[in-house]
Each structure stands twice: as structure tokens, then as C-alpha cells.
Amino acid sequence: MSDKSELSSQSEISELDKSSNTDSNELLPLDHPSVVAAHKRMKRRANRGRRFTYVAAIAIALWIVIPIFFVFSMAFTTEDAVRAYPKGFLPFIPFSTDTMRFFLNFDGVLAGLVNSLLVALITLVLSTIIAVPAGYAISRYVFPGRDFFRISVLAVRAFPVVVLSIPLAVLFIRTGLFDSIWSLSLMHTALVMPTTILVVASVFASVPYELEEAGQVFGATPLQSFRYIVVPLVLPGIAASGLFSFVLSWNEVFAASVLTLDNKTLPALVLTSLSNSPPAFQFAGGFFLMVPSIIFTFFIRKYLFNMWGQVAK
Amino acid sequence: MKSRRRRLIPYFLIAPTLIYLAAFFAYPMFQAFALAIYDDEAALPLLDEPSSQGNEIGRLTQGTRVDIADRQGNQLAESQDQSAELGQEADEAGFSTVDVWFLVEGEGTDGADVTGWMPKSRLRIRDEAPDGTALGGTIRPPVGVGDPFTVIRAQPNEKADEVGTIGQRETVSVIETASVEVWYQVVDAESGTTGWAPSRYVEVFSDEETGRIDGATAGEFTGKYFDRMTDDRKFTSAWQTTLLLMIVILPLQFVLAMAMALVVDARLRFGSGFLYVFALPMGMSDLAVGILFFSIFSGSGLINSFLDTLGLIDSQILFLTSDTRSWIIFAIVLAELWRSTSIVMVILVSGLQAIPRETLEAAELFGASYWQRVRHIVLPLLKPSIQVALILRTILAFQVFAVVIALSGGDVVTVLANEAFRQYRLNNDNVASAYAILILALSIGSAFFYLRAVRHESEVEAV
């Protein structure tokens, strides 16, 4: 209520402002000098605003890109350049794969990379297999308990990983599953599944059911119309959600540190050797941790709002 | 028939999810509570007779010093395997629990054949089956003075009736072997509690008359893990830092996210490029961001390099030492702002896109300036999105972990999640779970707080 009244008073003011030029409330022809002037003024103001927006956009972009670029520079240069002070950026320091090679030869890094890759892939497959039917169910069927299911999935998503990791570690130690890439994948799957379900549901919801029906009208069986009409349409979205699972698992460090000991994933390894490792190790480790997410963000940028907008609701 | 099957389809489709979440979500959740508030080895029940069938007449907590009043064997009801396991367990614990008794047949001192039970310690085994089972042997001579005969009893129990005696060095055949667990009658001198307990839970000292309760089987609800958590010297610092970070980060983050969202929504040229860059940190691991900001703030890092190149400083400024807590916190704030603002931005942009363009255009036509439009139209209409983002960010703020470890080593500045991890590393699973439950309670509490707070506001407005 208050918003509206304030606005109308505001418009009155600007009305007065304009009428001082035109001294009447009648509609003027578009080529009238005062209209042209007002139009120019508005355009100028809009342009000024636009320029300011560009400045803001570039400033924010720099704030995000500079740290990333700095770490990338350090990850692809000589060890001397990494140790040097003051440090420089890539075009000004020698390009070299020394840092990378040092990191990859570091004890346990290759195994950690392989573990991370395996865990992330298992998580991707498991979560997709389990979540796709559930996502399909909540987007295509109306059934008693549907809202409850949706809400519990959302609630699961909000629960802290800390709460799940420690009891699961205790359970895995008791059952002998501790310190294996499988147990960590099971945990990661539980973490990503809620998001995957909601994203998959939104992807299915974006394919109208009428399309499936149309297929059936033209003589396809329900399975056929699903296979040849729905699947091609939802595949990119499901691939995006799979990528999301992969990246989340690749990034996850708390559960990975709690649930593994000898079979550490890369983040767990980097975390434990952070304090007693040379800068080259940290930079290259940071690089490896960031790369999948940068690629991921590139591929899902179209789905960004579909995914997160939907998840946020 | 067909329609009923069709109605069941969605349940088949969600069943795997439900099963999975039950196993890897509901169960650990329950277990976290159990670990935090239940001590499953709190006390040892004492029984009125030396047998697991006895009735409980009292309880003693672990570590209680007791007097050993009596000692008695009691045949294990279970199979040999279990008794072997039991014996092994006892060996690991360092004290004996299992006596072996033999059912023997031989010539008694009265000349007649006698059949009955005798302890293994009195028999020298002469004949064994291939699997090690005793088949026969001779009675050992008694050590020192005393009864020269070995007493044969009706049951494998020192208290059982005597059925006869066998003289030393007599040959007997073993019919059966039984494992007998020793029970102690313990007395707690202080409370006067007395009762029988199996020997594996009682450590007997070398004088054989006193001992200590060394194990427990009865669980009890307990607040001691929460007490240990709150008594920990880092607890206060941990929750204060967590809250401080949240209070500082959230407002800054929402201003920055709003700016980013408005820029994205302004449909600039290269807009999708800007969006990509703005969204970059969203998928990034908190550990990577921790490393990123460590490299910026470290002694020979980006900031020092920059200032040095400009000639503004002579020596490196050390930001991340144990004496510069506030600089570390500042670095954590920046790192968290960098990392987690993108997700807020994305939520806000999807909210912005839902605002009808016509509303904004109408306001513009009526002469509302850009800021007026933002303040009076965009922000009120964004309230649901802001609420969602607030809840999400607050919950995540309680879980800040790797950034803090990367920037402070997890020691100078500590947060709740970090403490949970530290306690877990120290093998204090229960205290770690107490921290986890605290984080959970704070998350749920803050979510409800936001839901209520925002609803109240809208009610006030409606009035």
C-alpha cells in the first residue's frame, strides 16, 4: 500500500517537472521540441546508467577472475617463479609445466586423482540412476504423498554434511566399509541426490506431456514415445545434473576427510598436506580442484536458472 | 486392474530414492543423535546370581573400584565357537575369563567308576583328537600340600555337588569339554552396591581381592558429551567466530549479490559472458577457494607482491599469523564472499526474471528513477527469493570448514564444523556428533527464524 502511494506522489513530482516545460497536460506531437528534448535527456540518463552498469560488471568480473588467474599462473610456471617474490602474472613469468609435474609426482597425488575421479563417476552414475525415476515421478504423476516427498527431499538437501559424515564413518568402520571409494561414493550420492531429483523434475516438467500423447496418437507405445520423444529432449538437462553431481563430489572435502584414511581423494589429500607442503603443491592442487567446476559452469550456464531457480523454490 | 497398477507406478519410481535416503540419510541422522546423547557403555549391570539369567540388582559405572567378594564359574550356554571368541576377547583385554572343564570318566578313589566334571588345570592331556579336542589324560599331582585327590563334580562349576574323587596320576578319558566363564561377586565399598558380573568386565588386581569395573554393557542417556563439548577450550571461540562470520558476511553478500543480479538482469552486451564469470565461483570447492585466498594473503602472496611492485611497502606484511586474528577473519570473509555470493546471485536473478517487465516499465513511465524502482518494486517482489537465499546461506554458513583450515590452519581461528572434525580426528566420535547436532539445531532454528520473521513482516504490511 505504502509503496504505491509513494510512487504516485513521485510521479506527480515528475509530472510537475515536465509541465514546467510544456505548461499543459495535453498530448504533444512527437516532434515537438520539448518532447524531443525530454527524450534526449532520458536517453542520456539511460546511457549514463548503462555505462555505470558496465563499469560495475567489469569490476565484479575482475574481482572474480583475478584470483583464479593468479592461481592458474602459478600452476603453470617454473618452481623459481612460484617461490619468487614479488610474484607476477602469466604473460610476465615463464610458462612451464614444472609446477604441474612436481605436483603430480608428489606422493599420493596420482592415486588421489584416480580416487577422486572414481568417486565422482560412481556418484554421478548412482545418483542419476536413482534420482531420474523419482524426478520423473514428481513431475509427471499426481499421487498422494507427492508434496510430502518433495518437501522431504528439500529438507534432506538442507541438512549439514557434518551431521551425516561422522555417524556414517562410525557405521562404515563397524561394517568394514571404511576407507573405501565405495563408501565415500555412497555418502556423496546421498548428498547430491536431492538436488539431482529436483533438477531432473524441472527438466521433465519442461517437456509438455502433450508431446508424449501426440506420439501415442501417432501410434507409438508409451515406452516408444518416451524413448524417442522425451529422452532426446531431457538428455541435455540430465547430463547437466549429472555434471553437477560429478563436480559436487569432486569438491567435497569434509566427508572425504572423515571417511577415508589411506584411499584419500584429492581434496582430502590436499587438505591434510596443506600445512606442510610447498607453495607449488598448493597452487597446482588448487588448479586441479578448480578445473572441473570451471568446465561445469561453462556447460550448464544455460541451465543455471532452470536448475537453481527450480531448486530454490 | 490396469488402473491400479498405473496408480502404483510413481511409488515404484520413488522407492529407490526412499530406500537410499533411509539408509544413508535417516539412519546416520538417528545415529548422530544416538552418538551425541547416548552412552552405550555407561554402566555394568550387576546380577543377583552368577549367570546371565540372573536379575539385575544394581549398576556400577565404568572405572569404579570394587572388592571381589567371591568367584564362580558358570557354563556358557552357547557353542564352543563363541567361547573361543570370548576367550580371545579376554586375552586381548589382558585377563582370563574362561575356565575349561572336562567331563571325565575314570576310577575313583573308592574303587568304583566315577563320571563327572573337573577343571582343566588338574588334567594333563595325553591323548588329543586331530582337531585338538582332549580325549584323555592323567590327573596332575596336586601342587604343594592340600587335598591329594581331585574332586569330581556333577556340574562344571566349583559350587556343584561332589560326585567323587580321583587320585593323582590316574588315567581318565574325556567325554566332553565345556567352557566356563568366571563370574565375580563385586562389592562397591562406597555405595554398598553388590552383585555378580562376568569377569570380562572386571579387571582383578594382583591381590585378587580388589578390582575395577573395566567394561559396560548397559546404555544410558547422557549429557556428558555436550558437557565435554561446551567445556572444550575452543568451543566458545568456535561458536563466536561462526556467528561473527555469518553476521559480517551475510549483509555484504546480499548487497554484492543484488548488484551482480541487477547487472546480469540489465541485459548488457556480452551479458552471457558476464553471467558465466559471475557464476564461476558457484561450483568451486571451498578448499580451492581457501587456497586461492591463502595465495593472495600469504607473506609472498598477491597483495604483498602488488604493494611491493608499487613500492608501497619495504617488507612483507604478514596477514596470516597467530597474532593477526582479525586479518585472518578478514581474509575468510573475503573468501566466503567470493565463493558463495554466486549462488545468491543466481537465486536473485531467477527471482528478478519472474518480475513482470510491464510493472517496471509502468514505474519508469511514471518517472520512477532506477533506484526508486529497485527499492519499491524489485526488492519487495524479490522477498521470497531473498528468503530462500537467506535460509540456504545461513545453513551453509554453519558449515564453513575448508576455507578456515586453509587460511588459519584450523587453529588460530576455528569454527564449529572445524571443531567437529578435530574431535573426530581425536577419536571423540561422541563429542564430534554433539557438535554435529549443535550445527543441525542451529540450521533448523535459523531456517524457522527466517520463515517466521518474513511472514510476520508481510502480515504487518497487509494490516
Q: Which of B24, B343, B386 to mutate to test the interface with A (most CBs of A within 10 A)?
A: B24
**Which carries the bigger pLDDT value, residue B2 or residue B238?**
B238
Whether B118 and B178 have beta carbons less than 8 Å apart is answered as no
Quote the percentage of chain B above a pLDDT of 90: 15
Q: Please say if the pLDDT value at position B143 is more than 70.
A: no
Report which DSSP code applies to B210: E
For residue B147, what pLDDT is reported? 65
CA dihedral (B231, B237, B242, B246) in degrees, to 10, reads: 140
Grid cell listed for B456: 510476520
Grid cell listed for B362: 509502468
pLDDT digit string, tens, across residues B165-178: 888 888 888 888 87
pLDDT band of B463, cuts 50, 70, 90: very low
d(CA A157, CA A197): 10
Quote the percentage of chain A above a pLDDT of 90: 16
d(CA B322, CA B370): 46
pLDDT digit string, tens, across residues A42-61: 788 778 878 888 999 999 99
Tell me the nearest-neighbour CA distance from A23 into chain B, angstroms: 18
Quote the percentage of chain B above a pLDDT of 70: 90
Tell me the nearest-neighbour CA distance from B346 into chain A, angstroms: 6
Q: Which amino acid is at A266?
A: L
d(CA B224, CA B227): 5
The answer to whether B436 contacts A305, with C-beta atoms less than 8 Å apart, is: no
Q: Please say if the pLDDT value at position B297 is more than 80.
A: yes
Interval B217-241 mean pLDDT? 88
Question: How would you write B325-340 as a 3-class SS string?
Answer: HHHHHHHHHHHHHHHH
Closest CA to A72 of A293, A295, A288: A288
Whether A192 and A123 have beta carbons less than 8 Å apart is answered as yes
pLDDT band of B1, cuts 50, 70, 90: very low
The answer to whether B263 contacts A15, with C-beta atoms less than 8 Å apart, is: no
Whether B70 and B185 have beta carbons less than 8 Å apart is answered as yes
pLDDT digit string, tens, across residues A233-284: 888 888 888 888 899 899 998 889 888 888 889 999 988 888 778 888 888 8
pLDDT band of A89, cuts 50, 70, 90: confident
pTM value? 0.77
Interval A145-157 mean pLDDT? 83
Q: Please say if the pLDDT value at position A16 is more than 70.
A: no
Asked if A59 is an interface residue toward chain B (Cβ–Cβ < 8 A), one would say no
Interval B105-111 mean pLDDT? 82
The residues that bridge with B45 in the sheet, in sequence order, are B59
Q: Which residues of B touch A63 (CB under 8 A)?
A: 338
Q: Please say if the pLDDT value at position A170 is more than 80.
A: yes
pLDDT digit string, tens, across residues B365-404: 888 888 888 888 888 888 888 888 888 888 888 888 889 9
The answer to whether B367 contacts A17, with C-beta atoms less than 8 Å apart, is: yes
Interval A93-119 mean pLDDT? 87
For residue B97, what pLDDT is reported? 57
Grid cell listed for B355: 518480475
**Which carries the bigger pLDDT value, residue B194 or residue B95?**
B194
Residue of A nearest to B398 (CA): A160
Whether B320 and B331 have beta carbons less than 8 Å apart is answered as yes
Grid cell listed for A171: 557405521
Report which DSSP code applies to B169: T
For residue A22, what pLDDT is reported? 47
Interval A8-14 mean pLDDT? 46
pLDDT digit string, tens, across residues B25-65: 888 888 888 888 888 777 888 888 777 777 888 888 877 88
pLDDT band of A99, cuts 50, 70, 90: confident
pLDDT digit string, tens, across residues B422-452: 998 888 888 999 999 999 999 888 888 887 8
d(CA B291, CA A143): 48
Q: Which amino acid is at B175?
A: I
In this structure, the number of other CB atoms found within 10 A of the CB of residue B204 comes to 20
Q: Which residues of B touch A305 (CB under 8 A)?
A: 346, 349-350, 353
Q: Please say if the pLDDT value at position A128 is more than 90.
A: yes
Interval B238-249 mean pLDDT? 92
Q: Please say if the pLDDT value at position A169 is more than 50.
A: yes
Residue of B nearest to A270 (CA): B287
What is the per-residue burial (b if ≥16 Cβ within 10 Å, else e) of B248-274?
Answer: bbbeebbebbbbbbbbbbbebeeeeeb
Q: Which residues of A touch B405 (CB under 8 A)?
A: 271, 274
CA dihedral (B366, B263, B376, B345) in degrees, to 10, reads: 150
For residue B461, what pLDDT is reported? 44
Closest CA to A86 of B79, B258, B300: B300
What is the per-residue burial (b if ≥16 Cβ within 10 Å, else e) of A7-41?
Answer: beebbeeeeeeeeeeeeeeeeeeeeeeebeebeee
pLDDT digit string, tens, across residues B311-344: 888 888 888 888 888 899 999 999 999 998 998 9
For residue A78, what pLDDT is reported? 84
The CA distances from residue B134 to A256, A299, B117, B119, B129, in Å, are: 52, 74, 14, 13, 6
For residue B87, what pLDDT is reported? 46
Q: Which residues of A touch B29 (CB under 8 A)?
A: 159, 163-164, 167
- Within 15-44 of A, beta carbons closer than 8 Å to B belong to 15, 17
Whether A255 and A308 have beta carbons less than 8 Å apart is answered as no
Phi (first) and psi of residue A32, to 5 degrees:
-60, 135
Q: Which residues of A touch B436 (CB under 8 A)?
A: 160, 162-163, 165-167
SS3 B111: coil
Whether A212 and A230 have beta carbons less than 8 Å apart is answered as yes
d(CA B337, CA B256): 8
Helix axes A279-300, A109-140, angle to 10 degrees: 20
Grid cell listed for B179: 567352557
Q: Please say if the pLDDT value at position A4 is more than 50.
A: no
Closest CA to A99 of A264, A270, A274, A278: A278
The answer to whether A166 contacts B388, with C-beta atoms less than 8 Å apart, is: no
**Which carries the bigger pLDDT value, residue B463 or residue B213?**
B213
Grid cell listed for B367: 518517472
Whether B35 and B188 have beta carbons less than 8 Å apart is answered as no
In this structure, the number of other CB atoms found within 10 A of the CB of residue A57 comes to 24
For residue B373, what pLDDT is reported? 87
In this structure, the number of other CB atoms found within 10 A of the CB of residue A79 comes to 15
d(CA B140, CA B264): 95
For residue B252, what pLDDT is reported? 95
Q: Which residues of B touch A304 (CB under 8 A)?
A: 275, 279, 346
Question: How would you write chain A as a 3-class SS string?
Answer: CHHHHHHHHHHHHHHHHHHHHHCCCCCCCCCCHHHHHHHHHHHHHHHHHHHHHHHHHHHHHHHHHHHHHHHHHHHCECHHHHHCCCCCCHHHCCECCHHHHHHHHCCCHHHHHHHHHHHHHHHHHHHHHHHHHHHHHHHHCCCCCHHHHHHHHHHHHHCCHHHHHHHHHHHHHHHCCCCCHHHHHHHHHHHHHHHHHHHHHHHHHCCCHHHHHHHHHCCCCHHHHHHHHHHHHHHHHHHHHHHHHHHHHHHCCHHHHHHCCCCCCHHHHHHHCCCCCCHHHHHHHHHHHHHHHHHHHHHHCCCHHHHHHHHHC
